[in-house]
């Protein structure tokens, strides 16, 4: 027996005896974030616990010791949202399950999840509403336990049933009172009950990855049966399936969330609650629940979610945001990439950002070589900005190559790109690019679709806006001196934001007014009695790019020039922001300011700005500010944590910057090189 005493301190001491739990850093971090002190040794107090992983052979030592010493046993397993790739492929988990009574897949015994499902009938409606929003989030983002699949519509039969395979030796099969014969029985029933209908056997992700064998294989594809091992979203397969058949797979639970009544041949935790067609001989109804009850128990109550960036507890919904970011990053690089127009200093971080998906990343120095490499490798061609010229799209289409345009994101870094500071966000656009209003872009589609965002996503955008304003963020986060603005005394204070005049957003997004000089005269004409203050672009002030305005023009048009000043402070202190296409106009919208656009930036034409440019007629949607923010700061960019370099949601980068955690900054050497690039910009081919 254990010594009957209380362990000192507040953290729960957890003793483990299998090497996986002892040395798997992520599992330890998750447990520690949730109050466990993971140890290897001999328990001394009656409050000590023994921790084991699932019901593997390695768990026997811990279970035997817990029984011998009469200590509580904690069984640990992966959560129902785990990662993009599988654990056997090296992907760390975003959460674990800790069960003090048993484990969810052993439904022959009591466990915490079963208790939560039983108790779910009494939860408040507000919690069921959160569960419904969670189900919608899974469906919208097509999330599953593993997520290494494309979201493109697969080539599927017009009519089919879905049969879900599992890996051999899976404890959930054995402890769910099933065996290999259960899978053969399932396949036979699917064929008998749907005569002449195509039967798709969905291979398990670990089988597809070559890590474990399943109960079915390609040889089972005979007649109407097809062995389906392509990496496709389970939600897409379930969407058009006539019926779903499973043994104990988690896909059975997801099928319930997708609107199916799955036919079940084992005893999974989600079975026997009135939501499944139970075929097991021992299947006795446990009660009646709604899908929201199961979700509340399995996703909101049961798991321990983890924030890998700040090593702390997480919520289900923020875990969704992290997993969506990771899955997008995987899809961006899973096919590999050929990159054109990427300067030498960018290649290292681009390889790191996109190479984590396992695809081959190549860099090409010429258009013809890039197109050939993309065609030969069936990879998309990633092009920085306007590299390649006007003929690129036609040439790529003729070669059957997909083009992805790459640019910096809208909250980029602490420091200028022209000074070779690594970005924390990029945008990848498969139609055009956000600053070119002459044609559609992925961002335009996202803004148009944002009017149908669910409430949770709108609330998320509102919270991100508040975080942006609270942290005084901007694209480059340069800071600068605080300029004291004059007392209003009945006059409007108008901030005129200068730009780099040869920047693509100016050359493509401006028609009549396309220089800082013309912008200043237009702003003075629009606001003849206002106090005008001019903010030159940082790259222009640094001598890196073109766009300087002569002293005579400044004397004639403005009341003050804010040199080396903090842009955020200026925006907060003014009434109106005038711009051609500057991102500062979008930032001003976030701060609640009136914005006058003399060009056509991405945020113009949606009913939120005073537009003086020729806005495209296709911009007919009228999103709220929160919906616009969601499209521009959440849906469109990709983010990478400046500390770990891993893909992350926008909130992670915003919090890093708010904390002053910017990651590696430019060195004296890179800054000197940046100056040389500015001086010799006409010879850019020498370093590209």
- What is the pLDDT of the chain when averaged over all its residues? 91
Domain of 187, in residue numbers: 145-296
CA 128 to chain centroid, in Å, comes to: 25
Q: Where a domain ends, among 296, 325, 356?
A: 296
CA distances from 314 to 298, 300, 305, 311, 603 (A): 15, 11, 5, 9, 32
Q: Is the CB of residue 616 less than 8 Å from the CB of residue 442?
A: no
Which DSSP state fits 419? Answer: G
The residue-averaged pLDDT of 176-187 equals 97
Structurally, the chain folds into a number of domains equal to 2
d(CA 490, CA 103): 69
Q: Where a domain ends, among 237, 268, 296?
A: 296
- Residue 668 binned pLDDT confidence (cut-offs 50, 70, 90): low
The per-residue pLDDT for 525 is 97
Q: Is the CB of residue 599 less than 8 Å from the CB of residue 580?
A: yes
DSSP readout, 233-279? -HHHHHHS-S-EEESS-HHHHHHHHTT---EESS--TTTTSSSSEE-
| Dihedral sign for Cα atoms in the order 12, 15, 19, 22 | positive
The per-residue pLDDT for 681 is 38
Q: Which residue has the higher pLDDT, 490 or 81?
A: 81
DSSP readout, 505-563? HHHHH-SS--SHHHHHHHHHHHSTTSEEEEE--HHHHTTSSS----HHHHHHH-SEE-T
Which DSSP state fits 649? Answer: -
Report the SS3 class of residue 26.
Answer: helix
The per-residue pLDDT for 667 is 53
What's the token pair of residue 137?
């989030």
Q: Where a domain ends, among 296, 312, 328?
A: 296
Whether residue 648 is contained in a domain is answered as yes
3-state secondary structure 577-626: EEECCCHHHHHHHHCCCEEEECCCCCCCCCCCCEECCCCCCCCCCCCCHH
d(CA 571, CA 573): 5
Whether residue 403 is contained in a domain is answered as no
Choice among 85-89, 370-374, 594-598, 672-676 with the minimum mean pLDDT: 672-676
In the predicted structure, residue 6 carries a pLDDT above the cut 70: no
Angle, CA of 495, 496 and 499, to the nearest 5°: 135
d(CA 85, CA 91): 6
The CB density around residue 179, as the number of other CB atoms within 10 Å, is 14
How many Cα atoms sit within 13 Å of 237 on the Cβ side?
27
The per-residue pLDDT for 211 is 86
The per-residue pLDDT for 570 is 94
In the predicted structure, residue 4 carries a pLDDT above the cut 80: no
CA distances from 63 to 14, 66, 97, 576 (A): 13, 5, 17, 68
CA distances from 349 to 85, 343, 597 (A): 22, 11, 34
Q: At what angle do helices 316-333 and 650-659 cross, to 10 degrees?
A: 110
Whether residue 549 is contained in a domain is answered as yes
Q: What percent of the chain has pLDDT over 70?
A: 95
What's the token pair of residue 260?
């199916």
Q: What is the pTM of this model?
A: 0.92
Whether residue 272 is contained in a domain is answered as yes
The residue-averaged pLDDT of 330-335 equals 92
Q: Is the CB of residue 496 less than 8 Å from the CB of residue 567?
A: no
In the predicted structure, residue 294 carries a pLDDT above the cut 60: yes
The residue-averaged pLDDT of 259-280 equals 97
Looking at residue 273, which CATH number applies to its domain? 3.40.50
Task: Give strand pairing partners of 408.
Answer: 426
The per-residue pLDDT for 276 is 98
Element (H, E) at 209: none
d(CA 313, CA 95): 9
Q: Which residue has the higher pLDDT, 133 or 417?
A: 133
In the predicted structure, residue 503 carries a pLDDT above the cut 70: yes
Beta strands in 354-475 (DSSP E): 361-364, 381-384, 403-408, 425-429
d(CA 380, CA 378): 7
Whether residue 280 is contained in a domain is answered as yes
Whether residue 53 is contained in a domain is answered as no
Q: What is the pLDDT of residues 198-238, one digit of tens each?
A: 999 999 998 888 889 999 998 889 999 999 999 899 999 99
Q: Is the CB of residue 321 less than 8 Å from the CB of residue 630?
A: no
- Residue 377 binned pLDDT confidence (cut-offs 50, 70, 90): very high
The residue-averaged pLDDT of 553-561 equals 95
Query: Which residues have a Cβ under 8 Å from the Cβ of 449 and sit 6 or more positions away?
Result: 631
d(CA 514, CA 197): 62
What's the token pair of residue 413?
């870094």
Q: Is the CB of residue 116 less than 8 Å from the CB of residue 97?
A: no
Whether residue 346 is contained in a domain is answered as no
What's the token pair of residue 248?
């104990």
Q: Which residue has the higher pLDDT, 678 or 199?
A: 199
Whether residue 104 is contained in a domain is answered as no
């Amino acid at each position: 027996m254990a010594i009957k005493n209380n362990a000192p301190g507040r953290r729960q001491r957890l003793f483990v005896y299998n090497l996986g739990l002892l040395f798997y850093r992520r599992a330890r971090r998750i447990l520690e974030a949730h109050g466990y002190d993971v140890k290897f040794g001999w328990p001394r107090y009656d409050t000590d616990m023994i921790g084991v992983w699932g019901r593997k052979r390695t768990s026997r030592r811990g279970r035997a010791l817990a029984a011998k010493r009469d200590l509580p046993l904690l069984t640990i397993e992966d959560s129902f949202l785990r990662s993009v790739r599988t654990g056997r492929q090296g992907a760390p988990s975003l959460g674990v399950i800790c069960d003090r009574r048993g484990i969810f897949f052993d439904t022959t015994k009591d466990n915490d999840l079963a208790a939560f499902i039983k108790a779910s009938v009494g939860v408040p409606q507000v919690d069921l509403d959160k569960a419904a929003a969670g189900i919608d989030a899974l469906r919208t983002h097509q999330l599953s336990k593993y997520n290494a699949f494309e979201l493109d519509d697969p080539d599927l039969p017009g009519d089919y049933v879905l049969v879900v395979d599992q890996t051999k030796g899976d404890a959930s099969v054995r402890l769910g009172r099933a065996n290999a014969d259960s899978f053969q029985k399932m396949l036979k029933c699917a064929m008998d009950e749907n005569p002449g209908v195509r039967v798709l056997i969905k291979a398990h992700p670990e089988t597809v990855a070559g890590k474990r064998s399943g109960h079915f294989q390609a040889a089972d594809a005979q007649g109407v049966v097809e062995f389906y091992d392509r990496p496709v979203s389970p939600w897409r397969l379930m969407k058009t399936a006539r019926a779903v058949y499973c043994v104990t797979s988690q896909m059975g639970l997801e099928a319930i969330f997708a609107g199916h009544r799955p036919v079940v041949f084992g005893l999974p935790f989600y079975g026997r609650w009135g939501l499944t067609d139970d075929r097991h001989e021992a299947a006795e109804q446990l009660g009646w629940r709604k899908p929201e009850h199961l979700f509340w128990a399995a996703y909101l109550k049961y798991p321990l979610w983890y924030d890998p960036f700040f090593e702390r507890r997480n919520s289900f919904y923020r875990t969704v945001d992290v997993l969506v970011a990771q899955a997008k990053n995987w899809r961006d690089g899973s096919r590999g990439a050929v990159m054109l127009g990427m300067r030498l200093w960018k290649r290292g971080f681009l390889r790191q950002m996109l190479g984590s998906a396992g695809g081959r990343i190549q860099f090409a120095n010429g258009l013809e070589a890039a197109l050939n490499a993309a065609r030969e490798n069936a990879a998309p061609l990633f092009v920085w900005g306007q590299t390649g010229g006007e003929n690129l799209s036609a040439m790529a289409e003729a070669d059957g190559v997909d083009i992805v345009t790459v640019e910096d994101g809208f909250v980029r870094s602490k420091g200028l790109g022209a000074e070779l500071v690594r970005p924390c966000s990029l945008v990848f656009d498969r139609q055009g690019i956000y600053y070119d209003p002459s044609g559609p872009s992925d961002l335009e589609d996202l803004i148009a679709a944002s009017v149908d965002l669910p409430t949770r996503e709108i609330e998320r955008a509102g919270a991100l806006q508040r975080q942006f304003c609270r942290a005084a963020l901007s694209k480059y986060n340069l800071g600068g001196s605080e300029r004291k603005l004059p007392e209003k005394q009945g006059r409007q204070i108008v901030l005129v934001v200068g730009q780099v005049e040869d920047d693509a957003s100016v050359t493509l997004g401006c028609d009549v007014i396309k220089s800082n000089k013309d912008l200043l005269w237009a702003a003075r004409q629009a606001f003849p009695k206002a106090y005008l203050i001019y903010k030159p672009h940082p790259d222009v002030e640094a001598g890196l790019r073109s766009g300087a305005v002569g002293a005579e023009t400044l004397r004639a048009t403005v009341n003050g020039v804010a040199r080396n000043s903090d842009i955020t402070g200026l925006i907060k202190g003014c009434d109106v922001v005038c711009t051609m296409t500057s991102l500062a106009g979008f930032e001003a919208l976030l701060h609640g300011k009136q914005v006058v656009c003399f060009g056509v930036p991405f945020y113009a034409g949606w009913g939120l700005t005073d537009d003086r440019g020729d806005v495209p007629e296709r911009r007919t949607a009228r999103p709220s500010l929160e919906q616009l923010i969601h499209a521009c700061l959440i849906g469109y960019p990709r983010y990478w944590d400046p500390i770990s370099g891993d893909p992350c949601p926008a909130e992670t980068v915003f919090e890093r910057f708010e904390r002053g955690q910017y990651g590696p900054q430019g060195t004296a050497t890179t800054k000197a090189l940046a100056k040389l690039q500015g001086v010799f910009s006409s010879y850019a081919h020498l370093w590209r």
